[in-house]
Amino acid sequence: MNQYPNVFIFDHPLIKHKVSILRDKHTGMKEFRELIEEITTIMTYEAMRDVHLVPVEVETPLEKTLQFRLPEESVAIVPILRAGLGMVNGVHKVFPTARVGHIGMYRDENTLEPHEYYFKLPDGIEEKTVFVVDPMLATGGSAVDAVAALKKRGVRQIKMMSIIAAPEGLEAFTKAHPDVPVYVSTLDRCLNEHGYILPGLGDAGDRLFGTK
């Protein structure tokens, strides 16, 4: 049962199927990357359910009709580097004109605390709906800091999306940002002593980019 009111945990057979392949240590880099994109695309449909639409007049082959569209330049994607890059194309498949910012974070191996090393955002981001993406919400530290940095720059509409989350990460994130909805495909059991999610899928960045 979901104990977090602002967290949407997916319970979809197709996502469960894809996550099971994603977890498998024998799944290669190409398939792993494709699965991350596919799961993200499915999640994006739900995450965009409440975005603002504007009325437009469209002329069909038979008549004019009033329809609704997302405003141009209304969505931005902000991956937390580096693993978050693997989710960008999944969102772009749904909204291909979304601008992309980047937040670079690394985790101290001893303290597990996040440190920012890169920050670049599209112009006018404070007026956009911003999807912060990171495949793994483990300790929650990087996501908490990334969203805090966006809020400091005036961003008001933020959504957090992760493939796998640990209870510890959700607890930390929802405590820090109770106003930000979180979309998670799967809630796992716990973190180990090194801050990795169990059962998890290993290091998402390494598996996406073949660095190990």
The residue among 46, 72, 48 whose CA lies nearest residue 130 is: 48
179 an active-site residue? Answer: no
23, 33, 99, 107: which is the annotated catalytic residue? 107
List, in sequence order, every residue forming a beta bridge with 107; answer none if it has no partner: 114
What tokens were used for 197?
């999610």
23, 27, 99, 203: which is the annotated catalytic residue? 203
Do 134 and 165 form a contact (C-beta atoms < 8 A)? no
203 an active-site residue? Answer: yes
Do 140 and 172 form a contact (C-beta atoms < 8 A)? yes
111, 156, 179, 189: which is the annotated catalytic residue? 111
List, in sequence order, every residue forming a beta bridge with 67; answer none if it has no partner: 56
Angle at 99 between CA 95 and CA 104, to 5 degrees: 120
111 an active-site residue? Answer: yes
As separate numbers, helices (DSSP H) first and strands (DSSP E) second, the chain gives: 6, 13
Is the Cα torsion angle 177, 178, 183, 185 positive or negative in sign?
A: positive
11 an active-site residue? Answer: no
3-state helix, strand, coil in the chain (%, to 5): 35, 30, 40
Question: Which residues are part of the catalytic machinery?
Answer: 107, 111, 203, 206
